[in-house]
Amino acid sequence: MLQQNAMMLTVAALLFTAAASADVETRTIEYEHDGVTLEGYLAWDGSTDQTRPGVLIIHEWWGHDDYAQRRAREIAELGYAAFALDMYGQGVRTDDAQRAQQLSAPFQEDHTLMRSRARAGLDVFAEQDIVDPDHIAAMGYCFGGTVALQLVYDRALIQGAVSFHGSLPAPAPGEAERIDAPILVLHGAEDPLVPDMQVARFKNAMDDGGVDWQFISYGHAVHSFTNPAADGYGIDGAAYHETSDRRSWQHMKLFFEEIFDPDP
């Protein structure tokens, strides 16, 4: 037993060292959906050519921006391949809340469109040589968290989904019972932009459908708690919370370790 424990510690140390010294490479990938040219951002540890699990990243309602790309690089540093997809179109992004609402509205109003646009990014990601297409998860922030959930509801070929401070629409009638991937929701306990009634409906739907789900609520955190730029948005109820940002990242890592290597 002591020998086995020592071996496990050695493996863990090697993985930590590899992650800490990751040689992250990136490139942009143009692709198309429904006549719209999109541009995603691929990040991976270039020190190995081996395939590895992939994490699909969906941006906030501001569009595919530097924050989404930063998260892709951080995911790559953990040893995964990462792809920050594009929901709006090549170069379409904003820092104006009214414009962001206009850009996200067609997807919020039409979840079929939301799902198909996200699937286009997923398909491109799964085709990359560095990615194990059988081991892909999705994660998203705010608007992107909603998109990640919709992928699970739509039974896309992903192993799990993580929503960071996203809205929580319940699946359509009959969908919850068919969900076959686990869900992790990371939520600000004081988030005024996601009503308590919506949270309750989501939880009830998850329970009624027998879904494998987790819901972690962070005290004193509001909307956009992971984004250091949130304090400058000028949106009531959106603010960065460093402690919750750090803790939610750790909870995400544990979730990925579990779904990608369920029998370590």
Cα 55 to chain centroid distance, Å, stands at: 7
- The helix/strand/coil state of 173 is coil
How do residues 74-116 score in pLDDT, each as one tens digit?
999 999 999 999 999 999 999 999 999 999 999 999 999 999 9
| Torsion angles phi and psi, residue 14, rounded to 5 | -65, -40
Render pLDDT for 152-179 as a digit per residue (tens, 0 to 9): 999 999 999 999 999 999 999 999 999 9
Cα dihedral 43/49/55/59 (nearest 10): 20
Which domains are delineated in the chain?
23-259 (3.40.50.1820)
